[in-house]
Structure 1
Amino acid sequence: MPTVLLIEDELSLGMIVRDSLEVRGFTVWYAADGEEGFGQYVQHRPDVVVADVMMPKLDGFTLAERIRQIDADVPIIFLTARSQTADVVRGFELGGNDYLKKPFSIDELIVRIQALLNRNRSLRPPMPDRLRIGSYQFDYPKQKLAFNGAETAMSHREAELLKRLYEQRNQVLERSAVLLDLWGDDSFFNGRSLDVFITRLRRYLKDDPQVQIVNVRGVGYKLIV
């Protein structure tokens, strides 16, 4: 039976969502603020975390950052009324897997939870911890990129995207596939967020002219090494 940690400071909404998930077969732990939510996460280690962004004591973004320090894999879904591109990008780079704008339907939330659970069950074969990308050393578990002794700390989402580009190196990484894999859907709004991350990775890799991320018009991206 899937387990969900729900963190929502609006009590009436939290009770509605909790009861609706439980009726559909989920085990739900509920917390009313970020600090309590993190404590519940450490205690229960749920299959999925569903967290509001604007919460007292510890906001959803900071909560996700703390969780990612000890768990790189648990899916995190943000619930929020905020929808500006900068907010969405920040949520994803701190390790969020999906972003659901209020007001939302319970059915949509459940579909997104199930999609993330299914994705986590389809684990990729293990990769070496350190990967060579041209003159760079990419330490995926530590989310660091090294060049000539200098290290660049990467966000969780940047490291995930670079890993997928590396896995498909010298081949096309389809835009829609990476959006569905990392963002949960291939909407125009999420596509703009992906463009921001690709620009950042190009900047990180600019010191080796033998390494490029090129656009394949209408299809996706290619990491050329």
Structure 2
Amino acid sequence: MEVSVSAAHTAPRQPEPCRRRRWVGRTAKRTIDVVGAVVLLLLVAPVLLAAVVAVKVDTPGPALFRQRRTGWRGMEFQVLKLRTMQVGSERLRAALAVRNEADGQLFKIREDPRVTPVGRWLRRYSLDELPQLVNVLMGHMSLVGPRPLPVEDSVCTGDAGRRLLVRPGLTGLWQIGGRSDLTWEDALRLDLEYVDTWSVRKDLAILARTLPAVLRGDGAY
């Protein structure tokens, strides 16, 4: 399924040298995505295998969790994550709405009763997101980009629609800037800042800052 993105949010036609530089930049970004995802998958394979076993032993159900997300140009895709909640937890979301600690299009509960013991640990260090490296290889996501929101939470109009001009990322300014502690307004501001100013150099800088932020566990729950 594809969600239309307003023409107002598409980039204006640029002179040939500008288009060539943009093409080179996009090609370099995709190359970094593919090479980086392959290398990272090889490096984290033992950790990922141990996490899969831990999820299976902790609670009944599949180790992987799939959810529809809105991606590049409004295309929907199935994001892959390690399961951190009890099976069927999405059906309980409406009942927990009054406990939502986030605002705007975000849904976060610091002590979410649906999260499993192993899931809480996986979330703290973002290990549950490691399977998204497969999404990067498939072209659904980039290593760096805006946060991929669930389809039902995505806003595709106004300034928020500009988020869809690039692929969502495994990490991004939101990851190194506070993660779950960010308000919707702050998260959107960081996403739009990335969309408007992205470059290969900026991607590499964000990647370099991601591991320290993850290890500190800032804003993760």
Higher helix proportion (structure 1 or 2): 2
- Same fold per superposition (TM over 0.5): no
Larger RCO: Structure 1 or Structure 2 (Cα < 8 Å, ≥ 6 residues apart)? 2
Taking structure 1 as the reference length, the TM-score comes to: 0.26
Higher strand proportion (structure 1 or 2): 1
